[in-house]
Structure 1
Amino acid sequence: MTFPVRIGVQIQPQHATYPAIRDAARRVEDLGVDVLFNWDHFFPLTGDPDGLHFECWTMLAAWAEQTERVQLGALVSCNSYRNPELLADMARTIDHISARDGGPGRLVLGIGAGWFERDYTEYGYQFGTAGSRITDLAQALPRIRSRWAALNPAPTRDIPILIGGSGPRRTLRLVAEHADVWHSFGDASSLRERSVTLAGHAADVGRPAEQIERSIDVRRRPSEVGKELLDAGATLFTIESSGPDYDLDLAAEWVAWRDAVNRG
C-alpha cells in the first residue's frame, strides 16, 4: 500500500488562552494541513509547569465543530485516563460531529500507554509501571473496537487508530495488531530499525506491514530531513507548535514540500 505524504500539526494546549488556540486551529486548517492534533495531558510539559493548559477531548469536540476539512486527533490520548468503552463512545461522537454533508467523520483515535506521572498523581489515576500500562492498553484496544461495533449509531466509518510509541517488544506488537498509523520519534536510522521490528511483528500476526502508515515528529526543515525520512518510510510528518503564539512557519514549509513530493 502506498500512502501519500501528509502533514500534521500538533497544537499543544499550553501557555495560551482558548481564543488563541481556536485561532491556531483555524490557521492550521487554512494552511492546508492534513491532520490537526493536540495532546492528552493536564499540565504543561514545557515552560511553566503550572501555566495555562486545557483538556484534550473537550477541545477535540470543539475543533470538530469549528473545522470543515482537516482530520483531528490527540497525539496521543492516554489510555489510563478513561474507561475504554467511554473513550470509544467519545471518539464515535466526535466522529459524527466532524462529518460534513453526509460524508465520513474526521477523527483519528491516537492512543498510547501513558507516561507523565504528574497527570496520574494529581488526577488520582494509578500510575503503575511501564509494563502494567502497556498491559492495560493491550486489553483496552479490543474493547474499544467492540464498543464501536455495539454503538447506535455506529461510527461514520472505520475510525483510524494511531498508536504512539516505539517499544520493540510490546508496543510495536500492538501496532502490528491494531494500528492504522504508527507514530514515533527520532531520525531516519531509528525509523528504519524500528520498521524492521514492526515488520517482524506484522508477519507474526499475519498482516502486511505496508498497511500501517508511518508517522514521525519533525522539528527541522524539510530541506534538511524530508527526503531521508521519506526514504525511511515516513509519510505523515508532524510539527509541534506551542502557545502562546503558535508559530506555523515551519509547518508552512512542510506543506509546500508535501505538495511538491505528491505532485512527483
Structure 2
Amino acid sequence: MPLLDTPVRLGVQIEPQQVAYADIREAVVRLEEMGVDILFNWDHFFPLHGGPDGPHFESWTMLAAWAEQTERVEFGALVNCNGYRNADLQADMARTIDHISAKGGEGRFIFGTGSGWFERDYQEYGYEFGTAGSRLDELAVGLGRIESRWERLNPPPTRRIPILIGGAGEKKTLRIVAGHADIWHSFVAPDALAHKLDVIAGWADVDGHDVSRLIVSSELKGRDTDTADALHDAGARLFTLGFGGPEWDFGLVQRWLDWRDRKN
C-alpha cells in the first residue's frame, strides 16, 4: 500500500493519573515549549498502572482546558472510548473544542477514538461492557453518526477534524480504519506493519474508500531508536510516547525530539 510521506511528528501522551492536575498543567506548558507536535491524554476513569485507586482525571474536560491553554500544539485523546458517550454528543464536544483551540485560525483538535477495553470503567460507571465485537460494531455506527453530525452543526468545525483510530484487529478494526481514519495508531512491530497496511488497503478496495493519505502512528514507550528507525522505514510518520508523572522525564522527550529532527 503506497504511503503518504509526511514529516515525522512526535506526540506525547500525558498519563492523567497518579498526579495533581497542577502537575499536568505544568507539563503541558513545558512540552509545548519544547516543540512537541501533539499532546494526548487517555479516556479512562481509573489509573491503568500504579495504585488502582490513585488520583485520576477525566479526558474530555481536560482536553477543553488544553484547547484554551495551548497556542500551537495539536491535541486529543489516545484514545476516546466510543461507548461512554452518545455519538452525536461526541461530535458536538469535538466541534466545540475545535473552536476553543482555533484562536483566529483553524482548530487543533484530533479526534482519537476506539471501542474501549477497560472493564472497570464500564462496570463502575454503569455502561454495558458487551463484547469486543459488539463494541467495535458500535464504534463503526458511532463514527458514521459523528461525521454526519459534523456536517449539520452550526457553526461547523473550523476544519475537517482528523480522525485517529487505534487498534490492529484485521476483521473489524482495520475495516473501520479504512472507512474513517486519517491516522491509524497501533503497537504493531515493524515487520508486521506491511501486512496490516495491506489489510487496510484490502478493506478500502472492498468498501470503496481512499486510504492514500492515511498516516501511520506507532508507540515509542519502551522502544529504542533502532526499533523507531525500523518503524519509520516501514512507513510510520507519527510517533507517540507515553509519559507519566510526577517525576516527568523531560530529557527522554528531548531525545525523541532530537531523533524526530534528524529524520526530518
Which aligned pairs between 1:1-12 and structure 2 lie closer than 5 A?
Answer: 1-12=4-15
Task: State the partner residue of 1:19.
Answer: 22
Q: Deviations over 1:33-62 (max 9, x none)?
A: 111000000000001000010000000000
Within 2, Cα distance between the matches of 1:235 and 1:247?
23
Which deviations, in whole Å up to 9, do the C-alpha atoms of 1:56-114 show, x marking residues without a partner?
A: 000000011100000010000000000000000000000000012x2100000000000
Contact 1:221–1:253 (CA under 8 A) maintained in structure 2: no
Paired AA for residue 131 in structure 2? T
Q: 1:67 aligns to what?
A: 70
State the Cα distance separating 1:220 from its structure 2 match.
4.3
Unpaired runs of at least 5, structure 1: none
| TM-score w.r.t. length of structure 1 | 0.96
Map 1:212-231 to 2 at 5 A. Answer: 212-220=214-222, 223-231=225-233
2: CA distance between counterparts of 1:25 and 1:80?
Answer: 27
Q: Are 1:222 and 1:257, in contact at CA under 8 Å, matched by a contact in 2?
A: no
Name 2:86's counterpart in structure 1: 83
Per-residue deviation, 1:195 = 1.5
Question: Is residue 35 of structure 2 the alignment partner of residue 29 of structure 1?
Answer: no
Please show how residues 208-247 of structure 1 align to structure 2 within 5 Å.
208-220=210-222, 223-247=225-249
- Give, in angstroms, the shift of residue 241 of structure 1: 0.6
Q: What CA distance in whole angstroms lies between the structure 1 residues aligned with 2:243 and 2:100?
A: 25
Post-superposition shift, 1:222? 5.3
2:137 is matched with 135
Q: 1:113 aligns with which of 111, 115, 123?
A: 115
* Matched AA of 1:8: G
For residues 256 and 212 of structure 2, what CA distance do their matches in structure 1 show? 23
Matches of 2:116 and 2:202, distance apart in 1: 25
* 1:4 alignment partner AA: P
Any stretches of 5+ residues in structure 2 without a counterpart? Answer: none
1:204 CA displacement: 2.1
Q: 2:254 aligns with which of 228, 234, 252?
A: 252
Q: Which amino acid in structure 1 is aligned with residue 114 of structure 2?
A: G
Whether 1:93 aligns to 2:91 is: no
Shift of 1:205: 2.7
Task: Choose 13-22 or 240-249, whichever is displaced more.
Answer: 240-249
Q: Which of 39, 42, 45 is matched with 1:42 structurally?
A: 45
Q: Matches of 1:198 and 1:57 in 2, distance apart? A: 29
- Letter of the aligned partner of 2:61 in structure 1? T
Q: Which residue of 2 aligns with 1:175?
A: 177
Alignment equivalent of 2:60, drawn from 39, 57, 62: 57
State the distance in 1 between where 2:185 and 2:251 align.
22
Secondary structure at 1:142's aligned position in 2? helix
Equivalent position SS for 1:36: strand
Matched residues, number:
261
Whether the 8 Å CA contact 1:11–1:246 is kept in 2: the answer is no
**Does the aligned pair in 2 maintain the 1:14–1:244 contact within 8 Å?**
no
Match of 2:243, SS? strand
When normalised by structure 2's length, the TM-score is 0.96
Q: Please point out which of 107, 123, 126 is paired with 2:125.
A: 123
